[in-house]
Structure formats: structure tokens, C-alpha cells
Amino acid sequence: MKTACPLDCYDACDVIYNDGVISGDLCPHLHHYEKYQQITTPTYKGAKISLDEALNKLKEILKSSDAKDILYYKGSGNFGLMQEVIEHFFSSFGATLTDGSLCDGAGEAGIVEGRGENINMPISEIAKSEVVIFWGRNPHTTNSHILPLLKDKKIIVIDPIKTKIAKMADLHIQIKPRGDFYLAMLLSRFLYIEGGCDIEFLEEFAEDYEDFYELTQTIRIKKTLDKIDVSLGDIGDLLALVENKKVAIVCGVGIQKYRDGADIMRAIDAFGVNLGLFGKEGCGVAYLGNSKDGITSPFYTKAKRVCKVNTEFDKFKSVVIQGANPLSQMPDTTRVKKSLAKVENIIYFGLYENETSKIADLVIPAKDFLSKNDIRSSYSYSCLKEMPKVKESEFGVSEYDLSRFLCDEFDIELKSEKSYIEHFKNSNVVEKKQTISEFEFLDTIDLTKVDKHKLHLITPKSTKSLNSQFKRDDFVYINSSLGYLENECIKVSSDNGSVELKVKISDDVRDDCVLIYSGTKGVNNLTSSFVSYSGKSACYQENQVILESLD
């Protein structure tokens, strides 16, 4: 039987389930999916209870609070569209929901500010390109199904880490973190000087290109190149590889984990515009697209919302957390912990035990994707993949059944599960050509300063975990020149907090960087609740860090 992987991932793979065995062209998470121990029994204040008791407890808690004192917080542990059926209940009920992003919000805002809307570059176009620039995306880990498309293409990688793709690339610019804005601006400037801009395209779609060129001229070349650790040779080499070629600039979330993430993405887009990449075969700028493009919600979703990045949980009496592990994955864990500690009722609805389930008063196990009906889309390519139930499970409750229970109890209208899935199935999800009608260039430069004396925190995705699901990493990766020993336990600190981790020496990491993967316990002690200037997004790499020996 055919279904699809439910995880928050570029690839959205097809999954075959036969006789209890999962197969398909899958990554390690899915191959070992059924080995990860799920929560099977609901608990209240640590004591095991039945599912009926758990549902009734939830009903009681909701009845005992004013709707305005209830917060519903949803994460991205499962990417299925039916996850939102619980949102339908809580919006209708009058609870507060969240907005903003722990993920790609800053980059998305930068795209919208420049191009007007975020239409992603279709994978079928990437397949036709001659040159692919991976800019802050790590395909071997996060997007492995794009790799077969790269055969015979020139590869350029811009990443502070010598990733696997960087080692295979024709050109790797091992840039200093958050140097991307300046690199993109200087690339546009030198492209203009060399006469490489697509003037015909610019005249039609981006008429302020000369003003933008003037803005790029305000950047001092030598000083800036030194600051971002890029050479004039790198710029020349990159331009030589892309000029008059079909180019795909494939960006990931790595470029925008900063307060000014939107401007960084917009500067990269501007380089793409100067090259005239939009609307041409094999050309474009890819990022995480809008996975809901063409899909209207059949659910009621109007609600008061608070930002997901710096949520003040303590303003609420009851907090319902679904498909998320905020105690690990939100920035500024110390703040999150303190804020959640003041909440009277924390309800966790999820698949696995984690930091958040451990502090929850009421734990309700969810059913996994194999045991419920769903459908999903993707932020990487246009698709709708049905995810029918392929097996029965004796424990847990599906999102639909939980919503059914709550809607019945509180007299809120809910249609049949089938009708919602049909609604999604009939959505108009089609591949769109990546065109722009009018590009708005940035007109000022206003970036946060970096501290030369501290190290940069790089916190990307790990091969073995999906954020905090599955096998979580527990090391800090640093360059050998920093003088620490393999397996030595050290303290990493920022202005926000600290974490003690064992060292793994890796010279793939720049000597001014410290790498700790997403999902590593304690990594977000280091990060702060700053919200990006644009896009209401978390800024996991805004804080710089220092290291200390523990002996």
C-alpha cells in the first residue's frame, strides 16, 4: 500500500507499506521509523490513565479555563494537512493560536519584499540547469533526493562548513557566517562592472537596477572581503562559472537564521535578478516555497495569535502543545522553561517522549502516520500526496478523532474526515513558472554588527535526527586549531546561557565557528528570543559564543 513520509523535509517521499514493512527510496529516519519507541499510554501528572480518561481530563481542563486563557501551540513534527483539524477546534473555541516561524520565515519575508510573492523554482527546472549554487543548504543531509539531478552540472557551494557537497563542488566559498549579504552585493556589483547583467530583463522587470548598483558601490571592497573571508579570486571564479549559463541558486534556511535574514535573502535574490534568472528555462532561485500554495483551508482558523518565537506561555492558564518540542526547539530554552513552569495545565499531544512531554501535566499519545488518514504537500515541489491509513494501531488518537471528540463536547461543527481529505485532494496544486512582474531592490544597508572576539554558532540539521525526533546528536564540533581534545567536555556560552558538550574535532568547521546540530539537547540554551526584523522568525545564529575548558 502506498502512502507518503509525513516529516518536515524537502523531499516528501513516497512510502510503500506491505506486511508490516516500510520501503521506498527513503532516508534513515524512515527506514528505522518503527524502531523509535512511541508513547503508548496517556498520563496525568505522571500516572498512567486510559485514553478515555485522558480525553475527559482534557475536556475538564478546557471547561475550567476561559477560552482566552488557553493557548494552542502547533509544531511541525508531522507535515500532514490534517494536523490542522485541531486548529479548527481551538480557533472555533476562541483560544489563542500562534503565528510566526521557527524555520524559514525571515528568508520568505525577504523574497516577498523583493519579488512580491514566493513562487518556488520547480525541481524540473533545477534539473535543466547547468550550474547549481547551494547557498546555505546542505543537500546530503536535508534534501538527498535532489542529488541525482546534479550529475554533469557545475556545483558551487557557499557555506561556512565544508559539507559533503562542498567537498565535491567545483567551487566552495567557505564564507564567514552571515557574510552572505555582502557577498551577494559584491557579486551584483562585479557582474555589473563586467557587463554581465541581463539589461533587457532588468529594464523590463527591475528598473531600479542602476540605483541598486549605486548602493552596492557604497560597500568598501577590500575591507568587506576581509571581513567575510572571501577573496577577489572567489568572486571572479563564481562569476566565470555562472555567466551566460543556466543557473539555479538553491538557498536553504542556513542563510537566514539571523535578525536581518530577510535582507540577506533579498540580496541573493537581487543577484539572481541581475543575472536575469527568473522565467528562463533551467534558471531561478529556489528556497522553501509556500507549501499551501493552491490549497485553501477547509477549517476555521480565525483566532487571536501570539508569536511562536518568543511566546509568553505564562500569560495562559492552559497550553496545548501538538507535534512540537518547544522545550528543545524554540530559541532561548531557559526562558521557555521558566515561562512554561508557570502554566497550570500543560497538555502534550505527540508521538515521542521528549523534554516537553516530560514537563507536561497531561500527555496524550498521537497515532503515527501509518495508522491514520492524511494528505500532504511540500515546500520544495508542487505535489499532493495521499497518506491513507495502512495499518491499525491499538494506542493513541488521531488528530481528527481528537478534534471530533472536542467538537462534539463543545458543540462545534466538524465535517467528516473524508470530506476534509477530499477537499484537500481537489486543491489546485500546480507547478508555477517562477516569474516576477516587478522586482523591488533593497535601497538601504542596515545590518547587525558581529563581535570579532567571539565564535559564530552554526546550528544546522543533523543526518540522524529530524530536529528533535529520532537519534539526536550530542556533540559540539570545532576546528582542531582551537586547541581542545576529542571527547573533552567543554562549556559553550552565549549572552543567553550555556551548555556542556563533548568535543568532536572537525576541520570541516571554520576556526571561528562552533557547530551544534539542531536537536542536540541544550543547544537552544545558547540562542535568544530575538524575532527577525522581518518575517517573525527565530534567529538561531544571532548569538555568538565562547568556549571554556571544564577542568
Ligand X SMILES: Nc1nc2c(c(=O)[nH]1)N[C@H]1C(S)=C(S)[C@@H](COP(=O)(O)OP(=O)(O)OC[C@H]3O[C@@H](n4cnc5c(=O)[nH]c(N)nc54)[C@H](O)[C@@H]3O)O[C@H]1N2
Applying CB under 5 A, the residues found at the interface with Mo ion are 103
Q: Which of 119, 184, 253, 442 forms a contact with ligand X (CB under 6 A)?
A: 253
Q: 437, exposed or middle or buried, with CB in 10 Å at 0-12, 13-18, 19+?
A: exposed
- Give min distance, CB of 371 to ligand SF4, in A: 17
Stretch that binds ligand SF4, among 9-17, 242-250, 294-302, 340-348 (CB under 6 A): 9-17
3-state secondary structure of 68: helix
Does 529 interact with ligand X (rule: CB under 6 A)? no
Q: Which residues of 159-303 form beta strands (DSSP E)?
A: 171-173, 247-251, 284-286
The grid cell for 335 is 526562558
- Strands 345-350 and 318-322, bridge-based pairing: parallel
Asked if 11 touches ligand SF4 (CB under 6 A), the answer is yes
Contacts of 471 (CB under 8 A, 6+ apart): 464, 465
The strands making up 96-99's β-sheet, listed across from edge to edge, are 47-48, 43-44, 362-365, 345-350, 318-322, 70-74, 96-99, 304-307
- 425 contacts: CB under 8 Å, gap ≥ 6: 375, 384, 386
The one of Mo ion, ligand X, ligand SF4, none whose footprint includes residue 13, by CB under 5 to 8 A per kind, is: ligand SF4
- Closest to ligand X by CB, 324 vs 336, is 324
Closest contact distance (angstroms) between CB of 216 and ligand SF4 is: 38
Does 29 bind ligand SF4 (CB under 6 A)? Our answer is yes
**Nearest distance from residue 155's CB to ligand X, in Å?**
14
**Pairing label, strands 47-48, 43-44:** antiparallel
Q: 257: closest CA among 24, 448, 502?
A: 448
Task: Check if the beta carbon of residue 78 is closer than 8 Å to that of residue 349.
Answer: no
Query: What track of x and - describes contact with ligand X for positions 385 through 424 (by CB under 6 A)?
Result: ----------------------------------------
The number of residues that bind ligand SF4 (CB under 6 A) is 11
Taking the complex as a whole, how short is the minimal distance between the CB of residue 330 and Mo ion, in angstroms? 13
Cβ closest to ligand X, residue 343 vs residue 366: 366
Residues 110-169 close enough to bind ligand X by CB under 6 A: 135-138, 141-142, 158-161, 163
Binding segment toward ligand X, per CB under 6 A, in 101-109, 148-156, 198-206, 335-343:
101-109
Judged by CB under 6 A, the chain residues 137 through 196 that form the site for ligand SF4 are 144
The closest alpha carbon to 276, from 181, 217, 209, belongs to: 209
Q: Could you say whether residue 461 binds ligand X (CB under 6 A)?
A: yes
Half-sphere exposure of residue 24: CA atoms within 13 angstroms, side-chain side: 23
Rounded Cα distance, 388 and 1, in Å: 9
Residue selected from 3, 17, 22, 30 as contacting ligand SF4 according to rule CB under 6 A = 30
From 21-29, 91-99, 172-180, 417-425, give the range in contact with ligand SF4 by CB under 6 A: 21-29
Among Mo ion, ligand X, ligand SF4, none, the one that 202 touches (CB under a kind-dependent 5 to 8 A) is none
Burial of 432 from C-beta contacts in 10 A (0-12 / 13-18 / 19+): middle
One-letter amino acid of 391: K
Asked if 370 is part of the footprint of ligand SF4 (rule: CB under 6 A), the reply reads no
3-state secondary structure 117-165: CCCCCCHHHHCCCCEEEEECCCHHHHCHHHHHHHCCCEEEEECCECCHH
Q: Does 12 bind ligand SF4 (CB under 6 A)?
A: yes
Binding span for ligand X by CB under 6 A among 88-96, 202-210, 235-243, 246-254: 246-254
Q: Which of 3, 9, 107, 163 binds ligand SF4 (CB under 6 A)?
A: 9
Shortest distance, position 452 Cβ to ligand SF4, whole Å: 38
Question: In this structure, how many other beta carbons lie within 10 angstroms of the beta carbon of residue 317?
Answer: 17
Q: Which stretch binds ligand SF4 (CB under 6 A): 8-16, 188-196, 207-215, 310-318?
A: 8-16
In the bound state with ligand SF4, the residue whose beta carbon lies nearer, of 43 and 354, is 354
Task: Tell me how far apart the alpha carbons of residues 28 and 136 are, in angstroms, rounded to a whole number.
Answer: 22
Q: Which of ligand X, ligand SF4, Mo ion, none sits in contact with 160, Cβ below 5 to 8 A by type?
A: ligand X
Integer Cα distance of 149 and 123 in angstroms: 9
CB 51 within 8 A of CB 44: no
Closer by beta carbon to ligand SF4, 24 or else 307: 24
The single residue among 7, 126, 157, 351 that binds ligand SF4, judged by CB under 6 A, is: 7
Q: Is 248 in the site for ligand SF4 (CB under 6 A)?
A: no
Instruction: Give 202 or 370: the residue with its C-beta nearer to ligand X.
Output: 370
Q: Say which residues have a Cβ less than 8 Å from residue 264's Cβ, sequence separation at least 6.
A: 106, 107, 110, 178, 180, 181, 184, 255, 256, 258
By CB under 6 A, which span of 10-18, 160-168, 266-274, 434-442 interacts with ligand SF4? 10-18
Which residue lies nearer to ligand SF4 by CB, 11 or 198? 11
Residue (231 or 549) nearer to ligand X, CB = 231
- What's the distance, CA 396 to chain centroid? 27
CA distances from 406 to 18, 60, 78, 359, 397 (A): 33, 11, 21, 23, 12
> Which residue type sits at 31?
H
Q: Which stretch binds ligand SF4 (CB under 6 A): 7-15, 169-177, 195-203, 313-321?
A: 7-15
Residues 357, 39: contact at Cβ < 8 Å?
yes
* Positions in the binding site for ligand SF4 (CB under 6 A): 5, 7, 9, 11-13, 26-27, 29-30, 144
Residues contributing to the site for ligand X (CB under 6 A): 8-10, 75-78, 102-104, 135-138, 141-142, 158-161, 163, 175, 177-178, 180, 252-255, 322-325, 329, 349-352, 354, 366, 369, 458-463, 465-469, 518, 523-524, 527, 540-541
